[in-house]
Structure 1
Amino acid sequence: MLTGSDGAPLPGVALSLDPDDQQIYSNPDGSFAFATVDTGTYILRAYLLGHKPLTQIIEVTAAASFVDLVLEEDALLLEEITVLGESVVTTLENRGYAMKAVGLDEERNTSVRVTDLLDRTSGVRIRQSGGLGSRISYNINGLSGNAIRIFIDGIPIDAYGPSFSLSSIPSNLIERIEVYKGVVPVELAGDALGGAINVILRKEIDRNTLQASYSFGSFNTHQLASSGTYRHTKSGLTVRGSGFYNSSDNNYEVWGNQVYTTDPTTGDITYVRTPRFHDTYRSGGVDVSAGITGQDWADELMVGAIYSSLDRDIQHGATMESVYGSRKAYQQTQLASLSFKDRSFFSDNWSLEAFASVSNLDRRIVDTAAYIYDWDGQRKARYNAQGDMLGYYEYISGAEAGTPTLQLSNERVHVARAVSGYRFGDHHKLTLNLLYSGFTRDSEDPLSHVDIRDLEDTRYSDRLVTGLGYDLTALEERLKVSAFYKLFNQSVRIVEYRLSAGDEAVELNDVNRGVWANGYGFALSYELFPKVLLLTSAERSLRLPVPRELFGNLAESLEPNYGLQPERSKNLNLGLTLGTYRFGKHEARFQLNTFIRDTEDKIKRNVRLDDTDETTEYINDDSYISKGFDIDAFYSYDRKLDLSGSVSVFNSLFNTEFDETGLRYDWYRDRERNAPFFTANGNAKYRHQHLFQRDSRTTLSTNVAFVHWFYRDWESLGGSGKDIIPTQVVLDLSLAYAFPGDHVTLAVDGRNLLNDQVFDNYALQKPGRAFYAKINYRIF
Structure 2
Amino acid sequence: MKNWILIIVILVLHLPSQAAKPFYTLSGRISDRLSEPVSFATLTFNDKKYITTVDVDGRYEIKLEKGVYSGIVSAVSYRTVDFKIELAKDTVFDIVMEEDAVQLQSVNVYGKTVGKQLEEGAFSVNAVEIAPNLNKMVTLNDLIDRTSGVKVRREGGAGSDFDLTINGMSGNSIRYFIDGVPLETKGTGLTLDNVPLNTVERIELYKGVVPSYLGADALGGAVNIVTRKKRQNYLDASYGIGSFHTYLGDITGQYYIPGTPVVIQPTFSVNYSKNDYKMKNVEVWSEEQDRYIFTNKQRFHDDYFSLLGQVEVGVNDVKWAHKFFVGFSYNKLDKDIQTGAMQNKVYGEASRHTHSYNISARYNKRWEQVSTRLTLSHTWDHSETVDTACRKYSWDGTWMPSSGNEMNNRARTIRVYKRPLTVLNTGVDYELNEHNTFAFNYMLNRRGNNRYDEIDKNFEPSNDVVTKHILSLTYSQSFFNKKWQTSYFVKDYINALSIKQSDDIVITGSDKIDRNNVKNYRGAGVGSRYSVCEPLSVKGSYEHSVRLPLSRELLGNGTTVYPNLALSPEASNNYNLGIFGIYYFDSLNQLSYEANGFIRHVQNYIRATVSEREGMMQYVNEPAIDIKGFDVEVSYVWNNSFQFTANASWSDARDLKRYKTDGNLSATYKNRVPNRPWFFGNIDASYTFRDLIMKTDRLGIVAEYQYIHWYYLNWEAFGAASSKARIPTQNITNVSLSYCWHNDRYNVSLECNNIFDRLAYDNYMLQKPGRSFGAKFRIFIN
Q: Is 1:16 paired with 2:43?
A: yes
Q: Is 1:570 paired with 2:570?
A: no
C-alpha separation between the residues in 1 aligned to 2:594 and 2:168?
Answer: 19
The offset of 1:8, in angstroms, is 11
In the TM superposition, what are the counterparts of 1:215-230 in structure 2 within 5 Å? 215-230=240-255
Q: What is residue 761 of structure 1 aligned with on the other side? A: 763
C-alpha separation between the residues in 2 aligned to 1:438 and 1:423?
Answer: 31
Equivalent of residue 200 in structure 2, options 174, 186, 189: 174
Equivalent of residue 778 in structure 1, options 773, 777, 780: 780
C-alpha separation between the residues in 1 aligned to 2:732 and 2:775?
Answer: 19
> Contact 1:36–1:299 at 8 Å: present in 2 too?
no
Query: Quick check: 8-17 or 233-242, which moved more?
Result: 8-17
> Contact 1:62–1:294 at 8 Å: present in 2 too?
no
Q: What is residue 376 of structure 2 aligned with on the other side? A: 356
> Contact 2:125–2:207 at 8 Å: present in 1 too?
yes
Q: 1:201 to 1:395 in 2, by over 3 A?
A: same
Q: Could you report, residue by residue, the CA deviation over 1:363-393 in whole angstroms, capped at 9, with x for unpaired residues?
A: 11111111211111222xxxxxxxxxxxxx2
> Contact 1:36–1:294 at 8 Å: present in 2 too?
no
Equivalent of residue 525 in structure 2, options 521, 528, 536: 521
> Contact 1:564–1:620 at 8 Å: present in 2 too?
yes
Q: 1:232 to 1:23 in 2, by over 3 A?
A: farther
> Contact 1:15–1:44 at 8 Å: present in 2 too?
no
C-alpha separation between the residues in 2 aligned to 1:508 and 1:518?
Answer: 24
Equivalent of residue 304 in structure 1, options 312, 327, 337: 327
Q: What is residue 662 of structure 2 aligned with on the other side? A: 661
Q: What is residue 100 of structure 2 aligned with on the other side? A: 72
- Number of residue pairs matched by the alignment: 743
C-alpha separation between the residues in 1 aligned to 2:315 and 2:36?
Answer: 29
Q: 1:41 to 1:260 in 2, by over 3 A?
A: farther
C-alpha separation between the residues in 1 aligned to 2:340 and 2:67?
Answer: 63
> Contact 1:13–1:47 at 8 Å: present in 2 too?
no
The offset of 1:262, in angstroms, is 2.9
In the TM superposition, what are the counterparts of 1:199-278 in structure 2 within 5 Å? 199-205=225-231, 207-232=232-257, 234-256=259-281, 259-263=282-286, 268-278=291-301
In the TM superposition, what are the counterparts of 1:333-352 in structure 2 within 5 Å? 333-342=356-365, 344=366, 347-352=367-372
C-alpha separation between the residues in 2 aligned to 1:648 and 1:407?
Answer: 41
In the TM superposition, what are the counterparts of 1:126-525 in structure 2 within 5 Å? 126-205=152-231, 207-232=232-257, 234-256=259-281, 259-263=282-286, 268-342=291-365, 344=366, 347-379=367-399, 393-402=400-409, 403-449=411-457, 457-496=462-501, 498=503, 511-525=515-529
Q: What is residue 384 of structure 1 aligned with on the other side? A: none
The offset of 1:35, in angstroms, is 4.9
The offset of 1:291, in angstroms, is 1.8
The offset of 1:227, in angstroms, is 0.8
Q: 1:692 to 1:714 in 2, by over 3 A?
A: same
Amino acid at match of 1:726: P
In the TM superposition, what are the counterparts of 1:617-656 in structure 2 within 5 Å? 617-656=618-657
The offset of 1:761, in angstroms, is 2.2
Q: What is residue 678 of structure 2 aligned with on the other side? A: 677
Q: 1:13 to 1:439 in 2, by over 3 A?
A: closer
Query: Quick check: 279-288 or 747-756, which moved more?
Result: 747-756
Q: Could you report, residue by residue, the CA deviation over 1:415-455 in whole angstroms, capped at 9, with x for unpaired residues?
A: 000121111111111111111100112122122226x66xx
Q: 1:44 to 1:328 in 2, by over 3 A?
A: farther
Q: Secondary structure at the match of 1:294?
A: strand
The offset of 1:540, in angstroms, is 0.9
C-alpha separation between the residues in 1 aligned to 2:54 and 2:35?
Answer: 20
Q: 1:500 to 1:718 in 2, by over 3 A?
A: closer
Q: What is residue 386 of structure 1 aligned with on the other side? A: none
Q: What is residue 591 of structure 2 aligned with on the other side? A: 588
C-alpha separation between the residues in 2 aligned to 1:45 and 1:371?
Answer: 75
Equivalent of residue 133 in structure 2, options 103, 107, 116: 107
Give TM-score, length-normalised by structure 2. 0.90
> Contact 1:600–1:623 at 8 Å: present in 2 too?
yes
The offset of 1:617, in angstroms, is 1.5
Q: 1:697 to 1:278 in 2, by over 3 A?
A: same
Query: Quick check: 580-589 or 753-762, which moved more?
Result: 580-589
The offset of 1:633, in angstroms, is 0.6
> Contact 2:570–2:602 at 8 Å: present in 1 too?
yes
C-alpha separation between the residues in 1 aligned to 2:56 and 2:198?
Answer: 17
Give TM-score, length-normalised by structure 1. 0.90
Q: 1:25 to 1:430 in 2, by over 3 A?
A: closer
Q: 1:149 to 1:21 in 2, by over 3 A?
A: same
> Contact 1:2–1:26 at 8 Å: present in 2 too?
no
Q: Could you report, residue by residue, the CA deviation over 1:91-128 in whole angstroms, capped at 9, with x for unpaired residues?
A: 31222211111111211121122111101110000011
Q: 1:367 to 1:265 in 2, by over 3 A?
A: farther
The offset of 1:278, in angstroms, is 0.6
Q: Secondary structure at the match of 1:70?
A: coil
Amino acid at match of 1:771: F
Q: What is residue 382 of structure 1 aligned with on the other side? A: none
Q: Secondary structure at the match of 1:146?
A: helix
The offset of 1:9, in angstroms, is 6.0
Q: Secondary structure at the match of 1:110?
A: coil
> Contact 2:90–2:368 at 8 Å: present in 1 too?
no
Q: 1:475 to 1:309 in 2, by over 3 A?
A: same
Q: What is residue 551 of structure 2 aligned with on the other side? A: 547
Q: 1:351 to 1:230 in 2, by over 3 A?
A: same
> Contact 1:54–1:71 at 8 Å: present in 2 too?
no
The offset of 1:271, in angstroms, is 1.2
C-alpha separation between the residues in 1 aligned to 2:51 and 2:719?
Answer: 63
Amino acid at match of 2:495: Q
> Contact 1:51–1:78 at 8 Å: present in 2 too?
no
Amino acid at match of 1:423: E
> Contact 2:581–2:593 at 8 Å: present in 1 too?
yes
Q: What is residue 746 of structure 1 aligned with on the other side? A: 748
Amino acid at match of 2:571: R
C-alpha separation between the residues in 2 aligned to 1:80 and 1:101?
Answer: 28
Q: Is 1:82 paired with 2:105?
A: no
Q: What is residue 703 of structure 1 aligned with on the other side? A: 704
Query: Quick check: 476-485 or 562-571, which moved more?
Result: 476-485
The offset of 1:687, in angstroms, is 1.4
Q: What is residue 537 of structure 1 aligned with on the other side? A: 541
The offset of 1:681, in angstroms, is 0.7
Q: 1:558 to 1:266 in 2, by over 3 A?
A: farther
C-alpha separation between the residues in 2 aligned to 1:238 and 1:8?
Answer: 19
> Contact 2:256–2:263 at 8 Å: present in 1 too?
yes
Q: Secondary structure at the match of 1:561?
A: coil
> Contact 1:372–1:400 at 8 Å: present in 2 too?
no
Q: What is residue 614 of structure 2 aligned with on the other side? A: 613
C-alpha separation between the residues in 2 aligned to 1:10 and 1:697?
Answer: 19
The offset of 1:77, in angstroms, is 4.1
C-alpha separation between the residues in 2 aligned to 1:107 and 1:510?
Answer: 49
Q: 1:267 to 1:370 in 2, by over 3 A?
A: farther
Gaps of 5+ in 2: 1-28
Q: Could you report, residue by residue, the CA deviation over 1:738-763 in whole angstroms, capped at 9, with x for unpaired residues?
A: 11222111111211112111111223
The offset of 1:156, in angstroms, is 0.9
Query: Quick check: 221-230 or 289-298, which moved more?
Result: 289-298
> Contact 2:494–2:518 at 8 Å: present in 1 too?
yes
Q: What is residue 26 of structure 2 aligned with on the other side? A: none
C-alpha separation between the residues in 1 aligned to 2:338 and 2:435?
Answer: 56
